[in-house]
């Protein structure tokens, strides 16, 4: 009974609604969906921000981590390189096409012999990390001409070693300690390259303040004489007389101008005829005893 009444009321209400609706514009004409979801145009009134790297990282942790740790100057927005992404389609086989190209931002900076960037820069997310592949070790001189030229022009036993024997990873510079003992105990390895340029190690040069002890490690007899001399030559370092390059023999006149009358000198042109041993001069007069 109750049901019959309410059904009748509904019918009346529906009927009148229908009449009202028919008289209204079409937009309000019908309920289009079977579900009720409120319309929210406000949700679409914003302009979306592009995803920040940290947001890409929620799925691409690997690439993000590489850039974070070793990205160097590639540590900018992902989309700086990836103009298009999430567009890979196996049917189109467009993966290569999607991937950023070095050439869109770089020129062939190492010259025409090294245009195949990714052969060495294997991961664009760690651009400075270049592995010691054969591709690299076979071509060091294409970028570093000088070391190769020195090794060839000044032959030594180092010339027989491959670059990678010493440079075990790219950019690594070995200590001489890896392969050599110092000349005397306590000599610092940081001093070696003062005298030896590593790519021409037999071409020895040294500064004038080089401690005599270095020379003494090989020239033991002369070092002993020099240390014992009571003369003022004991205050003159080996390297001050034998300056610039190993084996150089100085002339007395480099330091001593006209000390004796010209007449004596004409008779005895060689200073060491009287002074005997330059490393072992006797003490002179009163100013001597050391």
Nearer to ligand HEC, 18 or 177 (CB): 177
216: contact with ligand HEC by CB under 6 A:
yes
For ligand HEC, the binding residues in 153-172 under the rule CB under 6 A are 156-158, 161, 163-167, 170-171
CA distance 241 to 226: 12
- Indicate whether 280 belongs to the interface with ligand HEC (CB under 6 A): no
The reply to whether 65 sits near ligand HEC by the rule CB under 6 A is no
Binding test (CB under 6 A) with ligand HEC, winner from 12, 15, 18, 116: 116
Residue with tokens 């003159």: 236
Please select the residue that binds ligand HEC; options are 9, 13, 18, 88, rule is CB under 6 A: 88
171: left (phi over 0), alpha (psi -120 to 50) or beta: left
Q: Using CA atoms, how far apart are residues 76 and 127, in angstroms rounded to an integer?
A: 13
Output the CA torsion 177→179→183→189 (10° steps): -20
The nearer residue to ligand HEC, 8 or 246, going by C-beta atoms, is: 246
Q: Do 141 and 199 meet the contact criterion of CB atoms below 8 Å apart?
A: no
By CB under 6 A, residue 200 contacts ligand HEC: no
Of 13 and 119, nearer to ligand HEC (C-beta) is: 119
Q: Please, are residues 51 and 63 in contact by the beta-carbon 8 Å criterion? A: no
Tokens of 157: 């036993």
Per rule CB under 6 A, is residue 147 in the interface with ligand HEC?
yes
The answer to whether 58 contacts ligand HEC (rule: CB under 6 A) is yes
Question: Is residue 204 near ligand HEC by the rule CB under 6 A?
Answer: yes
């Amino acid at each position: 009974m109750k049901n019959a009444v309410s059904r009748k009321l509904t019918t009346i209400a529906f009927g009148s609604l229908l009449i009202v609706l028919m008289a209204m514009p079409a937009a309000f004409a019908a309920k289009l969906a079977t579900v009720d979801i409120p319309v929210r145009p406000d949700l679409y009134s914003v302009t979306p921000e592009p995803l920040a790297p940290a947001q890409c990282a929620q799925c691409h942790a690997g690439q993000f981590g590489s850039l974070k740790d070793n990205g160097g100057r590639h540590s900018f927005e992902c989309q700086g390189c990836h103009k298009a992404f999430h567009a890979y389609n196996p049917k189109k086989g467009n993966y290569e096409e999607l991937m950023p190209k070095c050439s869109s931002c770089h020129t062939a900076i190492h010259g025409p012999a090294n245009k195949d960037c990714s052969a060495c820069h294997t991961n664009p997310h760690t651009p400075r990390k270049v592995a010691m592949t054969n591709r690299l070790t076979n071509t060091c001189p294409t970028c570093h001409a000088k070391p190769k030229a020195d090794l060839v022009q000044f032959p030594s036993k180092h010339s027989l070693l491959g670059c990678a024997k010493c440079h075990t990873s790219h950019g690594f510079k070995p200590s001489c300690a890896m392969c050599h003992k110092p000349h005397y105990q306590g000599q610092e390895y940081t001093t070696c390259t003062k005298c030896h340029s590593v790519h021409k190690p037999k071409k020895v040069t040294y500064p004038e303040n080089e401690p005599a002890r270095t020379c003494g490690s090989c020239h033991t007899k002369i070092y002993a004489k020099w240390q014992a001399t009571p003369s003022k030559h004991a205050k003159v370092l080996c390297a001050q007389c034998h300056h610039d390059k190993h084996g150089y023999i100085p002339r007395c006149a480099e330091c001593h101008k006209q000390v004796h009358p010209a007449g004596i000198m004409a008779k005895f042109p060689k200073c060491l005829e009287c002074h005997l041993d330059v490393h072992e001069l006797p003490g002179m007069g009163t100013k001597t005893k050391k």
